[in-house]
Amino acid sequence: MTSVPEIQIADGVRIPQLGFGVYQVPPEATEEAVTTALEVGYRHIDTAQMYGNEQGVGDALKASGLNRDEVFVTSKLNNGFHRRDAALRAAEQSVERLGGPMDLFLIHWPLPTIDVDYLETWQAMIEIRDAGLTRAIGVSNFQIPHLERIIAETGVTPAVNQIEVHPYLTNEAVRAYDAEHGIATEAWSPIAQGAVLGDPTIAAIAERLGRTTAQVTLRWHVQRGDIVFPKSVTRSRVEENFQLFDFELTDEDVRAIAALNRDHRTGPDPDTFDYIPA
Ligand code: NAD
């Protein structure tokens, strides 16, 4: 069994660098998908209030027989709950669905064009952590000005920033800011929802190493120091995506894959995204 490295993200909090994401896993299929991931060996699950499947994650954890402190669980505050009181209530509901305190809780989107100030939301996140509802707090989809503002105003630096990163969107400026400020970068849609899997540069490296293009891409993230949690509900792929720690890319491979960047987003632009679920 390959062992997954851990990264220190806050005082006493360590996160496995590889996890399992459940975006777009239907609620009724989530318990089974997470059970499979835990059987394969994943010990880090990434969910969100917006995905509607926290209960399935909680049910799988309970059924697994694992101690709650053996699995790292992240959830994210939904966009409609940015005001202080709503954020606290929403965090309590996540804890209930997940069957215990979270390890990491993130503001899912900054919503900078919306009338609720994400600074109020970040202050609420600090309260949520201090109340013991989560061990660490962070943000997702925060751009540099958003990070600068919450750090300057509160003196509290997010433990992580979860942003879209893959070979077609290397997001270097935000990653560099994160690194300079001790913020761990989590790379969402690490294989660009499959869009990079047919890339000829990645395919040539994969062929040389006798690996799949998904494994090479995920290994590239790992060697750059980012945290990843690919999503799949197919057991063979869940297994494939876990086999990343028994081979290595050369520095030249890492550079060649980074050079594929074309600033292509598969998801929304954080500066303009303003979706609030009904
Ligand atoms: P991903 O890059 O992990 O790609 C998932 C897609 O690739 C699925 O369709 C899957 O079937 C396919 N796939 C997975 N492994 C494969 C393999 N080995 N071979 C071939 N195809 C494979 O995309 P994602 O699900 O969007 O992102 C991963 C996780 O990131 C999500 O589950 C979620 O936890 C997180 N995420 C966060 C945000 C955010 O705003 N914070 C946004 C999107 C995703």
Which residues contact ligand 1 via a Cβ below 6 A? 21-23, 46, 108, 140-141, 162, 188-194, 197, 214, 229-232, 237, 240-241, 267
The identity of residue 158, as a single letter, is: P
The first and second tokens of residue 206, run together, are 């994969």
Ligand 1 pocket: which of 143, 188, 215, 218 to mutate (most atoms <8 Å of CB)?
188
Structural domain includes residue 186: yes
Residues with a known catalytic role: 51
Give the residue, by CA position, lying nearest to ligand 1 atom 35.
188
The answer to whether the beta carbons of residues 34 and 22 sit under 8 Å apart is yes
Q: Is 73 helix (H, G, I), strand (E, B) or coil?
A: strand
Structural domain includes residue 267: no
- The CA-atom distances, in angstroms, between 196 and each of 201, 203, 231 are 10, 9, 15
Q: Which atom of ligand 1 is nearest to the CA of 266?
A: 26
Q: Is 144 helix (H, G, I), strand (E, B) or coil?
A: helix
Task: Supply angle C-alpha 38, 103, 194, rounded to 5.
Answer: 55
Consecutive 10-residue averages of pLDDT for the chain (278 residues): 89 96 98 98 98 98 97 98 98 98 98 96 98 98 98 98 98 98 98 98 98 98 98 98 98 98 98 94
Structural domain includes residue 159: yes
Centroid of ligand 1 to alpha carbon of 120 (angstroms): 30
Centroid of ligand 1 to alpha carbon of 74 (angstroms): 15
Q: Is 184 helix (H, G, I), strand (E, B) or coil?
A: strand
Query: What does the alpha-carbon distance between residue 268 and residue 34 come to, in Å, rounded to a whole number?
Result: 26
Q: Which atom of ligand 1 is nearest to the CA of 108?
A: 41
Structural domain includes residue 265: no
Range of the domain at 156: 6-192+226-231
pLDDT computed for residue 2 by the predictor: 64
Structural domain includes residue 66: yes
Among 247, 182, 158, 222, CA closest to 19: 222
pLDDT computed for residue 278 by the predictor: 83
The answer to whether the beta carbons of residues 49 and 80 sit under 8 Å apart is no
Q: Which atom of ligand 1 is nearest to the CA of 214?
A: 18
Domain count of the fold of the chain: 1
Structural domain includes residue 87: yes
Give the residue, by CA position, lying nearest to ligand 1 atom 38.
188
Ligand 1 pocket: which of 232, 233, 265, 269 to mutate (most atoms <8 Å of CB)?
232
**pTM value surpassing 0.75:** yes
Centroid of ligand 1 to alpha carbon of 80 (angstroms): 24
Q: Which atom of ligand 1 is nearest to the CA of 212?
A: 18
- Give me the CATH number covering residue 48: 3.20.20.100
Centroid of ligand 1 to alpha carbon of 154 (angstroms): 33
Centroid of ligand 1 to alpha carbon of 197 (angstroms): 12
Structural domain includes residue 12: yes
pLDDT computed for residue 133 by the predictor: 98
